[in-house]
Amino acid sequence: MEEYKQVFLKQSADIGALFFKDKLFLKDGRPTPYFYNTGAFAEKASYRWDLAKAYAGMIVDIINKGTNIDIIFGPSYKASLIAGDTTLALLHEYGINLGCCYDRKEEKTHGEASGTESRLVGAKLFDGCNIYIVDDVATSMTTKRDSIETITLESQIPGIKTQVAGIGVGVDREQVGPVYDSEMPSGLDKKAQANWKREHIVLGARGEDAIGDFVKETNIPVTSILGITEAVNHLYESQYPLLINNKKQPMDEVAYNIFNEYMEVYGVERE
């Protein structure tokens, strides 16, 4: 495992961004033995810097393999912070000077955006520029598709051609999507949606691999700082402590086996 990945993983364990706990649920309604909360890195500026350096290390690996990148794009709201911090880390740690931008939820029609209805803030797109999208997680890929659509529409305003060179996330859960026994009714608030999902989730059923399908459809590579299998294997083998049921301790065989059994049911099968 590369050094920047090890640093990122240890920091994730130290601050409780990655933790194991009984009776956890994902947003899609499925139970899960672990959770990864990128938001924990916002607790202190030093944590944010560690996160930014991890993203920067991932991007440098991509650049060294021949990918051209001019601008880092972060979808609003959480990823806009990641994008800004990452460009600073790229400059400070590697001397790579890239642009940074993010999108507004609504178009701006005044000031520098007068007459353009622009939704982008920060570095200006230019003809032939290569854009790399960063985000905290990748689940359904809906946000990433929306970002690509935003970039496409923004490129059409001045009549230029741009390219999304890739997408990078913090941790890939490496699992298939959920399956429900019926269609969710419309008009439910967030709490009602969460309850509906837990009541109608088909446990053990394997949905689609949203990331794998996205890559096949768009030919846009999706990279993560860490895959969850690599992360958990490293923690188990190194016996590096993390939060398990609110107690900081090395991962025992029980927790490790629970994780592997979970991945046997919901883990992706990619080539």
- Residue 119 belongs to domain with CATH number: 3.40.50.2020
- Provide the whole-model pTM: 0.88
Residue 216 belongs to a domain: yes
Residue 33 belongs to a domain: no
The rounded Cα 15 to chain-centroid distance in angstroms is: 18
What is the band of 113 on the pLDDT scale with cuts at 50, 70, 90?
A: very low
Cβ(127)–Cβ(160) below 8 Å: yes
Question: Which amino acid type is present at position 66?
Answer: G
Residue 48 belongs to a domain: yes
Full domain range(s) for residue 157? 42-228
Residue 34 belongs to a domain: no
Three-state SS for 93-162 is: HHCCCCEEEEEEEEEECCHHHCCCCEEEEECCCCCCCEEEEEECCCCCCHHHHHHHHHHHHHHHCCCCCC
Please name which of 42, 55, 46 lies closest in space to residue 8, comparing C-alpha atoms: 55
Examine the pLDDT at 48 and tell me if it is beyond 80: yes
Residue 156 belongs to a domain: yes
Examine the pLDDT at 106 and tell me if it is beyond 50: yes
> What total number of domains does the chain contain?
1
Residue 6 belongs to a domain: no
At 271 the pLDDT is 63
Examine the pLDDT at 22 and tell me if it is beyond 50: yes
In angstroms, the CA 39 to CA 43 distance is 8
* Cα distances (angstroms) measured from residue 77 to each of 103, 143, 210: 8, 11, 22
CA atoms within 13 A on the CB side of 256: 17
> β-strands 130-135, 71-74: how paired?
parallel
Examine the pLDDT at 111 and tell me if it is beyond 80: no
At 116 the pLDDT is 53
Residue 37 belongs to a domain: no
Comparison of pLDDT for 218 and 117, the residue scoring more: 218
Percent above pLDDT 70 for the chain: 95
What is the band of 114 on the pLDDT scale with cuts at 50, 70, 90?
A: very low
Residue 27 belongs to a domain: no
What is the band of 117 on the pLDDT scale with cuts at 50, 70, 90?
A: low
Q: What is the pLDDT of residues 84-93, one digit of tens each?
A: 999 999 999 9
